[in-house]
Chains A and B, each alone.
Chain A
Amino acid sequence: MKLLTLVSIMIVLILSAFVGKVDIQLSALFEWDSIDSTIFFQLRLPRVLLAFLAGGILALSGLLFQTLFRNPLTTPFTLGISGGATLGAAIAIILGLHSSFLSFSAISLFSFLGALLTVGLIYYFSKKLTSTTDHRLILVGIALSFFFSSLLLILYYLSDFEESYLIMRFTMGALDTVGYGTTIPLVFGTFLILFIAYRYKEELKLLSISYEFAYLKGVNVDRMMITMFVAISLAVGGLVSITGPIGFVGLIIPHIIKLLFKQSTDKLLSITFISGGIFLVLCDTLSRALPTVSEVPVGIITSLIGGIIFIYILVSKD
């Protein structure tokens, strides 16, 4: 069964790499200097990989955050991480920074710094609050998000035409990449989030009953929540700095998986990661396949399709 799932995932991933504006000729695929081969191995495959890891991280971080804060509306972005990352990117764009470090652009680096700064802020505020059960931490995150988006609007207002296009394009999320360099932070992020999820699997299940329950059974809940929060945020921050914020995956995939499988969180970790990955790969494939002049940003497709599927599953359950 596991092997079958694995094989079908591989098939979906490889097949989706054949979809796009340019048709790939199978015969030319393994002639290394052919255009087809370059497009397939340097553009399409890294892009599919990027989409799979990004979708996986987003979905799993959504599931973990929802359980950690026991709030079904929490997303990887609720706590302001993506707001901070987007603001960082916008600052780099306005400053006209075009240099790059290794294979990462100044925009990505600034964006990651923005995410890190937000994690630091949230960590600082969480220490001020008496207990992390407090919904005030989520409210602080939401307030930070609004604060960042106001700053973003100011930058947007001050920017010229080209800059404002770049900022807007970043906020829509994109998965285009050349080569495998940009996928490296996501590979790290994937390891980090999977490691932390499985490391705290048992504690997560205790916490999914209640804060008090986990505490009374002997879990050091505050330390666990902060550790998980920081690790997940790093993974998400790294992701957003590469792809921009891609909405909705982190909210709906965990809920769809919960509704379909009806099991406790600890049993749904890998299936949520895989489903998020496949969902984003399919959405991105669709964005390439649509007969439009330029590609439709993938964030728009995830929200459109995801929203419809989500409402259908919610309503048909009753």
Chain B
Amino acid sequence: MLKINSLGYDIKQKPLLKEISFHLQKGENLTILGANGSGKSTLAKILCGLIPSEKKVLLAGEYIEKMVGAKRASYINYMPSKFSLYDPYITLKEYLNLSLYKETPKEKQLKKILSLLGLLKYQDNYAHELSSGEGQLLLLASTMMQSATITIFDEPTSNLDPKKTKLVFDVLEHSNMLKQKILITHDLQLAYRLNYPILYIEDTKATYFKEGFFKEETLKQYFDETIMIVDDNIVETL
């Protein structure tokens, strides 16, 4: 479904990513882990075409830069880590309806998503008045509306309180509006619970773990002593 071939990316002549290859099969999910600044978000933006690449990203058998916009949007979507918008006078409802460019509005779907995420009471408010956490939920709602074949979530829980984090987990785990998911996160508990295959990015290279990433020796290799598994939960020690 999504294939990248020896992808490299330099920032100011210094390589950030080198020779990255992987193949996401139909129906597969993926979690991308890695330290701050390791290039996870850059990789995500290349995958969805926001950062242009040439003949590196194959989406449903087609180079992403050659794809017609509407088709690309039906195949891949990206949820940024922070919510922001220029026009202060766009309401939540308008925002969500915009997620379906050139498609008929889906009123029922919209109501369902808003109430699931606890945003229904704000539907006629301006989106820019939302708190950062609610903004992040609106971003999630927008990806559910668009319902692309693959959705990349860039740190979807970074601004959230525990209750909202649980909500995001439930949506990722159970919602049938999301199909294949690529998750970028620092929240190892979330990654552990979702149990997707792991792509770990470190020093320009990516290592793929179909399974077995959450073992004591692997965790020790990547996180020293800061991460442990206690009673089937990921615990950060400080």
Contacts and interface: CB of A to CB of B under 8 A. Distances in A.
A216 B50 contact: yes
A130 B50 CA distance: 12
Interface string A191-233: 0000000000010011011101101111110000000000000
A150 interface: no
Interface residues of B, number: 29
Contact of A262 (B49, B52, B74, B89): B89
Nearest to A205: B98
A217 B86 contact: no
Nearest to A220: B69
A67 B87 contact: yes
A202 B99 CA distance: 11
Interface in B66-103: 68-74, 77-78, 80, 84-87, 89-90, 94-95, 98-102
Interface string A250-281: 00000000100011110000000000000000
Given A216-B77, A218-B70, A209 B90 contact: yes
A113 B126 CA distance: 44
Contacts of A202: 101-102
B146 interface: yes
B189 to A, nearest CB: 28
Contacts of A217: 73, 98-101, 146
A208 B70 contact: no
Contacts of B17: none
B48 interface: yes
Contact of B98 (A67, A209, A262, A265): A209
Per DSSP, chain A at the interface is: loop
Contacts of A70: 86
B90 A264 contact: yes
Contacts of A218: 68-74, 101-102
A219 B98 contact: no
Given A212-B50, A264-B94, A219 B101 contact: yes
A264 B95 CA distance: 10
A219 B78 contact: no
A275 B80 CA distance: 37
A263 B99 CA distance: 18
B86 A208 contact: yes
A258 B84 contact: no
A231 B132 CA distance: 38
A215 B126 CA distance: 22
B89 A264 contact: yes
A218 B99 CA distance: 10
Contacts of A258: 89
A216 B102 contact: no
A180 B176 CA distance: 63
Contacts of B73: 216-218
A208 B102 CA distance: 17
Contacts of A67: 86-87
B213 to A, nearest CB: 29
B90 A210 contact: no
Nearest to B139: A213
A202 B105 CA distance: 13
Contacts of A265: 87
Interface in A68-102: 70
Contact of A209 (B50, B71, B78, B87): B87
Contact of A212 (B80, B95, B102, B146): B80
Contacts of B89: 258, 262-264
A205 B86 CA distance: 10
A213 B86 CA distance: 11
A67 B126 CA distance: 17
Contacts of A220: 69
B11 to A, nearest CB: 13
A67 B73 CA distance: 22
A127 to B, nearest CB: 14
Nearest to A70: B86
A210 B84 contact: yes
B107 to A, nearest CB: 18
B48 A216 contact: yes
B90 to A, nearest CB: 5
Nearest to A206: B98
7 contacts: A67-B86, A208-B85, A210-B85, A216-B78, A217-B100, A218-B102, A219-B69
Interface of A: 67, 70, 130, 202, 205-206, 208-210, 212-213, 215-220, 258, 262-265
